[in-house]
Structure 1
Amino acid sequence: MRIIDHHIGGTTVSSGNRTADIFDPNTGQVQAQVRLGDAATLERAVAAARAAQPGWAATNPQRRARVMFKFKELVEAEIDALAHVLSMEHGKVLADSRGDIQRGLEVIEFCCGIPHVMKGEFTHGAGPGIDIWAFRQPIGIGAGITPFNFPAMIPMWMAGVAIATGNAFILKPSERDPTLPYMLGDLFRRAGLPDGVFSVVNGDKEMVDAIIAHPEIAAISFVGSSDVAEYIHANGCANGKRVQAMGGAKNHAIVMPDADLDAVVRDLAGAAFGSAGERCMALPVVVPVGDATAQALRTKLLPAIAALRIGTSTDPQADYGPVVTAAHKAKIESYIDMGVAEGAELVVDGRGYVLQGHEGGFFVGPTLFDHVTPDMRSYREEIFGPVLQIVRAADFEAALKLPSEHQYGNGVTIFTRNGHAAREFAARVNVGMVGVNVPIPVPVAYHSFGGWKRSAFGDIGQHGMEGVQFWTKRKTVTGRWPDGGVGDTAGASGSAFVIPTMG
């Protein structure tokens, strides 16, 4: 049986007495095991980071950027092999896996410009003979705790910015698909990153709690469910750490009566069902404005859903593959059961889907509900599967109210040809990331990612300039150089007992 170990100090480390199974979602069979680390495992990673980080922080930003450039080249050269590994553990199709990796590389590309964003600020002559300058320094050792649904992109979101700004970084990936994160450690080593600057420690809640408690870990970045995000944020902050914790989502697509419904349906098919709905920026809720819009949209959705092809993760013709585990498949189907019990109309039922030849696989068929209402638990909670819910709205104000009052505030989009409606919606909606005729409004790498309400805990977003701010500390220096030689005190007028000003 293949065992996935930890990557610490540039080498493979076997540590921990427990293991967890890694499944092939296409067959339902165990394909490998991951070794679950403990506090002693984490201590080895922290020790390696402690030894390596000061020298890495002292390395000039241009040289750190060269490591990012080389890492990018290595990942690009092996992207097909990496995508295959990702698909075989996660279940997403190969094209989606390549997209996962590419989106992570876009953050690495941003990090290649780290010398520019680390330049700091300077004011000459802020007062008589006084200059002020500010610059950013690394925080030291940081940790990232990442989810199963993006095992390449999100680790690169976190590690790229943390490392480029001069920190050491310890990654705790999901135990469901840990092989590719382990491979990132080897790729960073081959790119010239000093041993100990990047480590991968596998584990479950025991490892998470060890990270939260460790006094030398200065910051934690997390992406996952909202309950866990809230737990990590509260306990990490209580232990004096800087924490950014991204949680769940229930993103809405508002469809105005003037929208191009053919384009909307194409976008919805990909955004609602792509990656089997296992995306925090998926579109699981569509809100048509007016019954005429709802009926027309439903009519067009049905053949598009019927045309979706579910296949194995290596099937080049498949639109999406299996979900990650049998437990997650059961959870999704339980929410479909819940929607039926709550009185929503089940238009397309994806329960019990079986792929011929892969009867043990974790497949869920596309599901469509209509006449879903805001009081339903299946609407209020995140399903994280290939389930699309239609919530009808009478007018623009009713449509605006739905995402604004939902517990999650990650993303939302509006489909319309009316510029005023789009502008009004973007300004007023109580959600952190907004799309206008864009189905998945994930910002590009040089902007920052982050939602509102229970979709994000902490005030600083992922990647972009907010990522740089998260992984660094500002230091501001106020300096005065008196006239004359060293030790010349001419002109001194004695002690001052009032607050200094620059007037």
Structure 2
Amino acid sequence: MRQISHVIAGASASSGTRTGEVFSPASGEVQARVSLGVAADLERAVVAARTAQPAWARVNPQRRARVLFRFKELVEANMDALAELLASEHGKVVADARGDIQRGLDVIEFCCGIPHALKGEYTQGAGPGIDVYSMRQPVGIGAGITPFNFPAMIPMWMFGPAIACGNAFILKPSERDPSVPNRLAELMIEAGLPEGILQVVHGDKEMVDAILDHPAIGAVSFVGSSDIAQYVYARGAAAGKRVQAMGGAKNHGVVMPDADLDQVVADLCGAAFGSAGERCMALPVVVPVGDRTADALRERLVPAIEALRVGVPGDPDAHYGPVVTAIHKKRIETWIRIGVEEGAELVVDGRDFILQGHENGFFIGPSLFDHVKPAMESYREEIFGPVLQMVRAPDFESALALADRHQYGNGVAIFTRNGHAAREFASRVQVGMVGINVPIPVPVAYHSFGGWKRSGFGDHNQHGMEGVRFWTRVKTVTQRWPDGMAPTGTTDAFLIPTMD
């Protein structure tokens, strides 16, 4: 059986006897085993990073950018193989896997412009003969802890800016689909990255805690569930680290009475059920304003949902594939049961779906709830599966309040032809990312990604200039080059300096 090891100091590295199972979601079979590392494995990676990082930080930014250019070319050349490998472990269809990789490459493209992004500030003549300037310098060694749902995109969101800024980076990907992160590290080394600058250590909570506690790691980036994000933020910050921790989501899509319902249905089907709903930017809650809008939307939604094709990752006609594990499938089915018990109307039930020839796969059909109430636990919590919940709102203010009051504040969308309503909504809603007639408002690479409330812990967002700020520290220099000898017999040297 295939064995997946760490990538430390540019080479494959095995650890102890602890391993985890990597499943084929389409068949339900174990296809590989991954090493579950311990603190000693992390220490080897840290030693390699400490050795390599000072020289890498001294490489000028344009030469670092050239390595990223070559990496981008290599990933593009290997796109088909990477997408198939990703789909085989995650379960998403191959076309969606290609999108996973491409959105990561978008951030790599941004990082190729790092010479411009690292420019500091300069003030000439801030005082008599005094100039002030600032520079951005790398944190040193950074680490990333990434989730299973985007095993290519999110690692590149993290290690791209970190490495471009001159840091060494240690990646701890999800143990559920670990092969693509390993392959990305190998391609980065092939692109010319020095050994020790990008390394991959696999593991579970033991490895996570080792990363959070290690004194040599100065910054940690995390994406995952909110409870773990809060834990990572608290433990990492207590250890003196800079931490950005992105948590869960329950994104709402508000549908105004003037919206184009045919377009809304098409958008909802993709945003709610694409990738089997295993996206933090999925749209699992639709909020039609007014019963007339809700009834018309439901009438169009039901046949569209029933027409969705669930298939194996390699099926080019499939809209989505299996979920990642049997445990996760059972969890989704449990939430559907809870929703029924709470009194929501289950309009479409996907729990009995079976794909012929793949009866042991982790497949689940699309489900639709109507008449979901804000007090329901199934509404308050993240289901992370192919389940769409309809929460009816009587008016615009009530719809806005639903998104505002929810514990998560990752993304939100409004569907309308009314510019004033859209502007008002975008300005007032207490959510980090807003779409106007855009169902999945993931920002482009040169902006930044991040949610509010329990969807994000820390002061900096992912990628864009926020990513550059997170992976660097500002140093400000105040300099004076006097024309002659300083005067003697003065007490000015004992006073706080001013620029007057």
Please give the TM-score of this superposition, normalised by the length of structure 2: 0.99
Give 1:459 shift: 1.1
Cα distance, 1:491 vs. partner?
A: 7.2
Match of 1:489 among 470, 486, 489: 486
- Describe the superposition over 1:448-470 as per-residue Cα deviations: whole angstroms up to 9, x where unpaired: 10000000011100000010000
Whether the 8 Å contact between 1:236 and 1:242 is mirrored in structure 2 is: yes
Match in the other structure for 1:397: 397
The one-letter amino acid paired with 2:278 is E
1:502 maps to 2:491: no
**CA–CA separation in structure 1 for the residues paired with 2:442 and 2:190:** 30
Unpaired runs of at least 5, structure 1:
none
1:356-395 alignment, distance < 5 Å: 356-395=356-395
The aligned counterpart of 1:14 is 14
Q: How far, CA to CA, are the matches of 2:467 and 2:403 in structure 1?
A: 26
The answer on whether the counterparts of 1:16 and 1:41 sit within 8 Å (CA) in structure 2 is: no
Return the offset for 1:16: 2.5
Q: Contact 1:142 / 1:218 at 8 angstroms: preserved in 2?
A: yes
AA aligned to 1:220 is V
8 Å CA contact retained: 1:6, 1:202: yes
Q: Deviations over 1:406-465 (max 9, x none)?
A: 000000000000000000001111111001000000000000100000000111000000
**Counterpart Cα distance in 1 of 2:440 and 2:490:** 64
Alignment of 1:180-329 (within 5 A): 180-329=180-329
| Equivalent-residue separation in structure 1 for 2:311 and 2:415 (angstroms) | 30
Residue 61 of structure 2 aligns to which amino acid in structure 1?
A: P
Alpha-carbon distance between aligned partners in 1 of 2:184 and 2:48, rounded to the nearest angstrom: 17
Q: Is 1:155 aligned with 2:155?
A: yes
- 1:79 maps to a residue whose letter is M
- For 2:59, the equivalent position in structure 1 comes to 59
* C-alpha distance after superposition, 1:163-213 (max 9, x if no partner): 000000000000000000000110010000000000000000000000011
Q: Distance in 2 between matches of 1:502 and 1:89?
A: 61
Shift of 1:310: 0.3
C-alpha separation in 2, matches of 1:20 and 1:500: 60
Q: Distance in 2 between matches of 1:430 and 1:162?
A: 29
Deviation at 1:352, TM superposition (A): 2.3
One-letter amino acid matched to 1:423: R
Call closer, same or farther: CA 1:164–1:492 in 2, change over 3 Å: farther
- 1:492 positional shift: 7.6
Instruction: Tell me: CA distance 1:130–1:406, structure 2 relative to 1, closer, same or farther (3 Å).
Output: same
Q: How does 1:391-430 map to 2 (within 5 A)?
A: 391-430=391-430
- The CA deviation string for residues 380-428 of structure 1, in whole angstroms up to 9 with x for no partner, is 0000000000000000000000010000000000000000000000111
Q: 1:6 to 1:296 in 2, by over 3 A?
A: same
How far apart in 2 are the matches of 1:496 and 1:490?
10
Q: Could you list the per-position Cα deviations for residues 24-83 of structure 1 after superposition, in whole angstroms to 9, with x for gaps in the alignment?
A: 000000000001100000000000000000000000000000000000000000001000
Q: Find the aligned partners of 1:370 and 1:97 in 2 and give their Cα distance.
A: 31
Decide whether the 8 Å contact of 1:434 with 1:441 is kept in 2.
yes
| Rounded Cα–Cα distance in structure 2 between residues aligned with 1:491 and 1:106 | 59
Shift of 1:17: 2.1
SS class of match (1:496) = helix
Indicate the SS of the match to 2:494: coil
Structure 2 counterpart of 1:453: 453
**Deviation (angstroms), 1:306:** 1.2
SS at match of 2:404: helix
TM-score (norm 1): 0.99
The percent of aligned pairs where both chains have the same amino acid is 73
Residues 331-364 of structure 1, C-alpha deviations (whole Å, 9 max, x = no match): 0000000000000000000002110000000001
Q: Which residue of 2 aligns with 1:26?
A: 26
Amino acid at match of 1:498: L
